[in-house]
Amino acid sequence: MMERWKGRVALVTGASVGIGAAVARALVQHGMKVVGCARSVDKIEKLAAECQSAGYSGTLIPYKCDLCNEDEILSMFSAIKTLHQGVDVCINNAGLAHNEPLLSGHTEGWRNMIDVNILALAICTREAYQSMKERGVNDGHIININSMGGHRMVPSADEHFYCATKYAVTALTEGLRQELRETKTHIRASCISPGIVETEFAFRHHNSDPERAAAVYESIKCLKAEDIASAVIYVLSAPPHVQIGDVQMRPVEQVS
């Protein structure tokens, strides 16, 4: 069922490393034109060259964009419209966490999580839908990369505000589904909620304590970024009449 996506355009946010890079690679492998955005595109450019060398049928187009800046997001969508007509699939993957507890956290850290995890996702969703609507695309797909933290609160003060932003993603995905139904479109909205995935995420989250970050991934056999990419392909491969709402996935050994 991925045949129908060949040659069509996907946007993947946070595509430079981890889950975003794995998703971008998988979509290119299935023949899509993938716009991969991040604040720095060096790693995306390297990934694009790797995809080309591997002979994948799609292409990866790096795009530099700071998702905390709405003007840059709007400029990105304008460029995609000019160069590639518009977005058919939007993968809202970019996300981050800071060690900012509710009782002692810094407002700057909270605001940064809101800007990236919630507002950027909502802005990209709005612009992707408008791109589909103005071109008469009735089979597009918006996929939010969420977290198990968007379904239950982790018993760690460092994670509480981050979990709150991911609960928001859960609500936004269902709200989007309902609004799409009201418009009588067949554009779909899905959410993928992984547990612990071995990426650079923990090292960025615990940037002052790399040993703690490493311990997160050494405690159990974690999910890999490629596992999440496979879930994205699964969701996109569903027949057009099938709405996959939320895919929750975690390592077998993960307790909560």
CATH class of 3-195+224-242: alpha beta
pLDDT at position 218, please?
A: 84
User: Where exactly are the structural domains of the chain?
Assistant: 3-195+224-242
Which is nearest to 140 in space by CA: 194, 193, 85, 93?
85
pLDDT at position 208, please?
A: 63
Instruction: Compute the distance between CA of residue 61 and CA of residue 47 in angstroms, rounded to an integer.
Output: 10
pLDDT over 90 percentage in the chain: 88
- Would the pLDDT of 207 be above 70? no
pLDDT per position as a tens digit, 141-180: 999 999 999 999 989 999 999 999 999 999 999 999 999 9
End-to-end C-alpha distance for the chain, whole angstroms: 33
Active-site option among 162, 167, 217, 234: 162
Where residue 217 falls among pLDDT bands split at 50, 70, 90?
A: confident
For the segment 235-256, the average pLDDT, to the nearest whole number, is 93
In sequence order, which residues have a C-beta less than 8 Å from that of residue 139 and are 6 or more positions away? Answer: 4, 88, 186, 187, 188, 240
Give the predicted TM-score (pTM) of the model: 0.95
Is 56 tagged catalytic?
Answer: no
Q: What is the mean pLDDT of the chain?
A: 95
pLDDT at position 197, please?
A: 94
- Would the pLDDT of 118 be above 80? yes
pLDDT at position 55, please?
A: 98
* Cβ atoms of 125 and 134 closer than 8 Å: no
- Would the pLDDT of 189 be above 70? yes
* Cβ atoms of 13 and 120 closer than 8 Å: yes
